[in-house]
Structure 1
């Protein structure tokens, strides 16, 4: 169960909107009413005079003075964001804007009767494509905003959506789904795809095989619709180059594009009326669902390629999966057989075209857009889950591997692998690049060039963790430093370590466990036996809560 009292709270800090949800025990999830008239809070900001304002107050500012999609500053590793104001264009700190948004989320949750404090386990969502530095940046911003990030778990958004679906199938229908689940999570800023092996029930077992992400999401569609609207304005004789307020025109067209995207999810056509007081005589436009789908088609083509990349990457975790070149040769007909269930999540899943395109890829799978809440609430519902994280196994380590040695009476450490660093990019899977994994060797291997040291494991909170290797409990694995050293992590859980003496260790972990501190799971490793005809029993199968064998 999550938290000391079986209570959990989740915060989905989204590109377009943000949500807070709570759950106590196995009761239904509760989404807190954050907005003035909605359950969601607009993730927008702006300046009213010298004051930074957020949410609905910012959304009411002139369109060209609103800061939107600020979360993308983390995705793009940007420190500054431009905002247009009465005095012209200003560049301000992106972190300052995000701290203000996160602080307001916390304040509104408190006013809604759901304070974000240490009494409940606290989780934040993040895109699957984020690396360790990007994740740490969000955690640091949340801490500065007064959110209880100590010991919190930062969870990939599509994984949270999958957990919400598994729990909902059991609680609502007493189902215990077992098989492979593909989560297609398209939000405002990113498209995230996760492939999970699930065994449902009151104590679900979830193993993440892969999670990939790309910027094929709502913001990109907004720009595609805006291009159509500009073309329609030109076709109707409006002189774009003669506008006296180009920034205002751009902002109003983008707002119209967002409105068209939302309304065409339920209507066949949308009437576009731009204010003409400052822009002159602007013609009225009609934008249709057919136009939206044509504008959306190239983006969905790219999304489809990411789906196939994710399914190929998922096979990298399997024994005898074949080389990357062999996986790249697998066609859709072979890959779709891996999938038993598909879950559509994120606000963009409300667009009918998304469901039609994704559903057509998996004619034999069960396709869901319901995790007990609306599609754009699935992530926050999963973040508030109280059972799905007890036995969550990841596809890459959520902790650091560090090199440690003693020097002049002091203990020195350097990071060999930073938590959550991706082993590969989507394009590498698509290109058939060999040896997909993480590698540090020779000059890139940290530490001194002589002497003795240790390979250790460290939580993202900085706490050293224990490990067990071939049933021997230890704090670290001894190594001899030298000029020829290497460390490799592979998607199937293999770990190769060669130290400066030439000693080589081939190790294996069945799944990367969630390790939040020494009181949680140890990292359990075993010697890797090449070409072993019978793989050892995964560690979690020996527990009293082990899932049934398939």
Structure 2
């Protein structure tokens, strides 16, 4: 069984192509959105999803979110006694989604199509594939997120002919793709984006504003619990503004209250720099596609951050029309991943659907340029495959030594758009020995072959002899080797994961602990007694006791959350 997975910065989803349609699979709590959060309990047990998200405020030193942004790096996060790489944290999310899918489908899930931001680098894509391996999944296909959204949208408009732009603003990344849909052929014309722009940045911007406007002492920036509570309050206020004209960010610490009033105009003003950053990738994608704005038939929104009215208004002003809202922006990427899973499994209902994609970055080599007879300038970037070239693709260029005495050539492979190689990302090196006697006539043909899974093969062929050297760009500095993946897979397999049937109760406890920290006085005492009673019920391990106790505890929590405007922190 192949599933589709949207591995998001804020939330993740799993889907399947079944009976001729894409379907989202709910987790053990009945939600299709699983928060991309991981926490380690005091006994070393791993919590994933909503239970972990609830603990971000109460146990900030044992909980983590938004680690997708660090994929492709060697950064580690310590939770309890153990340090985790971004691939391992992502693998825990993927494993939870895999188990949810297996429980719902009743069959083993061995393979997945995982979506990634279109502008993810080579290293980030390799790290995502490694995370899938660590979760016990075969990941042959990585699918660009806006392309996935386009697939879902294409199924929605099957048989139509249209040109449209996908505006995908998620929790941590921003992607734009321009597409053509005609006769069931989905062609990506161009992609662009910003890997460091998303809903999390709007929250961070408002947190900074809160410190200024509410005159919060700077030492609170080092208080993990305070920052966790503030981040949650800002996120809640941001969501409130989607349905209400104003919201309040309010934190009570001891006898001191810190408050900031927020409305749409203030949000737009505070985050104007972020909104401005959304324009450049849109303009670049349209320019690369050679398509004027007037030729677009529609704008498709994807990613949870596009729910913000301030973003939708900006999109409407930018394009001079209202965007398409037929599909849920939180779910559209996962639905498209299910379509791709169906295509990969060769489902008969998708036989007539053809999908093309493009290379998100330019790929090339470092060269030296002859400025005059006596001056050579090195470190220049020469693209072999330009960004937004339709893939799969194979391109070749010929290069010559810079001197008669040169006996070898080091071919440095880079990814990026900058003129100088120092400003791009090095992917690998290929050493070629030159035969003696030919001097500058020892030309080398360098061929780049790039496939739909983001795998780059580099071939260097000596023109005189036909001898070929090959480099398969699979690893990057800081990424896990196959041996390290195997070792970490074994280590992750030994971790205790809260079972699905107990996760609901663990999530209830985490919600109760979070509310206890927000309450004061008699209400706080009542919540403490309720938590103790529920823990005693769980200790009995008797379903006849646990089930009614859970229902009673859940009712109390939901009552308190419904009246959250009475909480001191709200």
Please state if 1:117 is matched with 2:148: no
Q: Is the 8 A contact 2:450 2:456 kept in 1?
A: yes
Question: CA, structure 1 residues 464+226, in 2 after alignment: closer, same or farther (shift >3 Å)?
Answer: closer
Aligned equivalents of 1:125, 1:312: Cα separation in 2: 25
SS at match of 2:256: coil
Aligned equivalents of 2:314, 2:118: Cα separation in 1: 22
1:416 deviates by: 7.8
1:312 deviates by: 1.4
Aligned equivalents of 2:194, 2:352: Cα separation in 1: 21
1:456 deviates by: 8.2
Aligned equivalents of 1:79, 1:280: Cα separation in 2: 42
1:37 deviates by: 4.5
2:248 is aligned to 271
2:176 is aligned to 193
Query: Please, what TM-score do these two structures have when normalized by structure 2?
Result: 0.62
String of CA shifts for 1:51-107, please: whole Å, max 9, x gaps: 332212212225233311011111xx432244576x9xx854333222222111211
Aligned equivalents of 2:29, 2:281: Cα separation in 1: 37
Q: Please give the residue correspondences for 1:133-172 in structure 2 after superposition, counting only pairs within 5 Å.
A: 133-149=123-139, 152-170=140-158
1:227 deviates by: 1.4
Q: Please give the residue correspondences for 1:4-403 in structure 2 after superposition, counting only pairs within 5 Å.
A: 9-24=3-18, 26-27=20-21, 29-34=22-27, 36-49=29-42, 50-63=44-57, 64-65=60-61, 66-74=63-71, 77-83=72-78, 92-113=84-105, 117-118=109-110, 122-149=112-139, 152-170=140-158, 176-178=160-162, 180-200=163-183, 203-234=184-215, 239-241=217-219, 246-274=223-251, 276=253, 279-315=254-290, 335-363=292-320, 367-371=323-327, 374-385=328-339, 386=342, 387=350, 390-396=353-359
Aligned equivalents of 2:411, 2:129: Cα separation in 1: 21
Residue correspondences, number: 403
String of CA shifts for 1:421-460, please: whole Å, max 9, x gaps: 85x44xx6xxxx79xxx999xx976533249999585868
1:213 deviates by: 3.2
Question: CA, structure 1 residues 281+35, in 2 after alignment: closer, same or farther (shift >3 Å)?
Answer: farther
Aligned equivalents of 1:233, 1:462: Cα separation in 2: 47
SS at match of 1:134: helix
Please state if 1:449 is matched with 2:442: no
Question: CA, structure 1 residues 398+240, in 2 after alignment: closer, same or farther (shift >3 Å)?
Answer: same
* Unpaired segments ≥5 residues, structure 2: 343-349, 360-389, 397-408, 436-441, 471-570
1:379 deviates by: 0.4
SS at match of 1:80: coil
* Unpaired segments ≥5 residues, structure 1: 1-6, 316-333, 404-413, 466-475, 488-550
1:158 deviates by: 0.7
1:23 deviates by: 1.7
Aligned equivalents of 1:113, 1:209: Cα separation in 2: 36
1:479 deviates by: 5.1
Question: CA, structure 1 residues 453+267, in 2 after alignment: closer, same or farther (shift >3 Å)?
Answer: closer
Structure of greater Rg: 2
String of CA shifts for 1:493-544, please: whole Å, max 9, x gaps: xxxxxxxxxxxxxxxxxxxxxxxxxxxxxxxxxxxxxxxxxxxxxxxxxxxx
1:306 deviates by: 1.8
SS at match of 1:95: helix
Question: CA, structure 1 residues 391+448, in 2 after alignment: closer, same or farther (shift >3 Å)?
Answer: farther
Q: Which has the higher helix share?
A: 2
Q: Is the 8 A contact 1:167 1:388 kept in 2?
A: no
Question: CA, structure 1 residues 252+124, in 2 after alignment: closer, same or farther (shift >3 Å)?
Answer: same
SS at match of 2:157: helix
SS at match of 2:272: helix
SS at match of 1:282: strand
RMSD (CA atoms): 4.2
Q: Is the 8 A contact 1:42 1:56 kept in 2?
A: yes
Q: Is the 8 A contact 1:226 1:254 kept in 2?
A: yes
Aligned equivalents of 1:31, 1:181: Cα separation in 2: 24
Q: Is the 8 A contact 2:410 2:429 kept in 1?
A: no
Aligned equivalents of 1:132, 1:244: Cα separation in 2: 34
Question: CA, structure 1 residues 226+478, in 2 after alignment: closer, same or farther (shift >3 Å)?
Answer: closer
Query: Please, what TM-score do these two structures have when normalized by structure 1?
Result: 0.64
Question: CA, structure 1 residues 254+415, in 2 after alignment: closer, same or farther (shift >3 Å)?
Answer: farther
Aligned equivalents of 1:361, 1:143: Cα separation in 2: 41
Question: CA, structure 1 residues 462+305, in 2 after alignment: closer, same or farther (shift >3 Å)?
Answer: closer
Q: Is the 8 A contact 2:178 2:190 kept in 1?
A: yes
Aligned equivalents of 2:460, 2:353: Cα separation in 1: 27
